[in-house]
Structure 1
């Protein structure tokens, strides 16, 4: 709930502050086995449905999640100022809309560049690309998540279902916006390792991009 508040009066302490100031120690999140990434055909199928139904907001945010690792809230809350900065520098700054308010930078993808260039002329100065005046961020995010929930059965593939199935427990994970971050992390890990980086070095780079700053979290995204 706190993450959804724009310009909150208070900030939440992170684990390090809790430890240093109050001697409260919070254990690390246990790793969850299983892959939540989308198969290529599922991703392309959902994009096609969104475009066919004229829902360009969902289509564009799906692309931002897949090609830049943005959470759905981060994608929905892109401001004109952020888009302009990204087009000038090639770097997108995730700011107050980030989970726990952790600012970070991620490279602007070619697909993201095309989206920003197309939407900027339609967005007033000081406004957001996907949120209209009077709308709340969480309302827009909820509609986008509901869109995926409503149409995901239409795009499921055997490949996707198989890769998301937990072989130990026989449970599967269905398509969500968050699953596209899994795709982003997996692709970026391959790219960095192909450059010659060790797995831990690659994980350190990618973990910064997705706003976790812990390389062990990357194991979760790798499934």
Structure 2
């Protein structure tokens, strides 16, 4: 701490730059490490002087909530300045947290923390709307627990195939392979991007794709028929020991950003009038996990599983291991 710097109360819960760097180096859940570090250093500067809430209770909790949000906007938006937080970031973060099975109270605390720190920024570029305004303007934004699973986010098969075709015809045809793996195997985009040639060889040999998900949770997913050819195609482009989709001069977060931008830039071109999504709910990379979950659930039901057992089986495939989380993906 610089000499003469005024710090209100004991704020030992603020992570030092060294602690943040160590966490980044050991946590594979953080893809865009540079942007995340920048955001956390900005957050620290604000947190040292923030006031209006309990320094020893509420503020540390808000800091932890904001830490998670910084990871999200760094990885998904390459956001580098906290002053540029806007409504779309909140809406997408709520969807992400709901898909993780977080409770309404937890998500409301997320939003309270984000708004609190946003209010501490001297000259924010955007104003953040209230939860009520967000719910009126964004169909996918809702906080009532009873409605957590009420939004169908799935793309139709027509939309999925059209996006794959556009990706194949683009300057980065490997994006099509990433999209297909996320749809056919129910992967998070960062899980697909992290796959190496060794992972692909093992999957083709064993018939199961081994994935390291959030929190280091490892799961094995039966390899779908189409995924065999997807992995084989991806392997042809790289040498043994290399990542399937991240070139030597690239960072994983750059590839993640590229595929997410591709979906955002092209989803309006492939809209199927027969899609079942509520108005305003757009296709994202996460939408393909919803489609996978629904498809696998129906297959388990056909095999004679009870609804509860089918939901639990699906939750394990998508890396949650909680039956109630599957309800969110099924839009029940």
TM-score range (shorter-chain normalised) is 0.7 to 0.9
Matched, 1:130 2:245: yes
Aligned with 1:46 (options 137, 144, 163): 163
Cα distance in 2 for partners of 1:136, 1:4 equals 12
Cα distance in 2 for partners of 1:45, 1:147 equals 12
Q: Which of structures 1 and 2 has the larger relative contact order (alpha carbons within 8 angstroms, sep 6+)?
A: 1
- Judged with a 3 Å threshold, the aligned counterparts in structure 2 of structure 1 residues 102 and 141 are, in CA distance, closer, same or farther, namely same
- The equivalences for 1:152-171 within 5 A come to 152-160=267-275, 163-165=276-278
Q: How many equivalent residue pairs?
A: 194
Match of residue 201 from structure 1: 309
Matched, 1:103 2:218: yes
Given the two structures, how large is their TM-score scaled by the length of structure 2? 0.56
Shift of 1:119: 2.4
Q: What value does the CA root-mean-square deviation take over the aligned residues?
A: 1.8
Match of residue 260 from structure 2: 145
Cα distance in 2 for partners of 1:118, 1:150 equals 25
Per-residue displacement from partner, 1:89-132 (whole Å, max 9, x unpaired)? 0011002xx22221111011111110112222321121111000
Tell me, yes or no, if the aligned pair for 1:42 and 1:155 is still in contact at 8 Å.
yes
Cα distance in 2 for partners of 1:44, 1:121 equals 22
Matched, 1:29 2:103: yes
User: Residue 221 of structure 2: SS of its match in structure 1?
Assistant: strand
Cα distance in 2 for partners of 1:180, 1:215 equals 19
Tell me, yes or no, if the aligned pair for 2:174 and 2:234 is still in contact at 8 Å.
no
Aligned with 1:184 (options 289, 292, 301): 292
Tell me, yes or no, if the aligned pair for 2:149 and 2:330 is still in contact at 8 Å.
no
User: Residue 250 of structure 2: SS of its match in structure 1?
Assistant: coil
Match of residue 214 from structure 1: 322
Per-residue displacement from partner, 1:177-220 (whole Å, max 9, x unpaired)? 10000000000000000011001111111110100010001110
Match of residue 22 from structure 1: none
User: Residue 148 of structure 1: SS of its match in structure 2?
Assistant: helix
Shifted more, 98-107 versus 182-191: the winner is: 98-107
Unmatched tracts of structure 2, length 5 or more: 1-23, 33-100, 105-147
Tell me, yes or no, if the aligned pair for 2:177 and 2:234 is still in contact at 8 Å.
no
Shift of 1:48: 1.3
Aligned with 1:93 (options 202, 210, 216): 210
Unmatched tracts of structure 1, length 5 or more: 7-26, 166-170
Cα distance in 2 for partners of 1:204, 1:32 equals 15
Cα distance in 1 for partners of 2:243, 2:225 equals 20
Given the two structures, how large is their TM-score scaled by the length of structure 1? 0.82
User: Residue 159 of structure 1: SS of its match in structure 2?
Assistant: coil
Per-residue displacement from partner, 1:52-73 (whole Å, max 9, x unpaired)? 2243211111111111001111
User: Residue 165 of structure 2: SS of its match in structure 1?
Assistant: helix
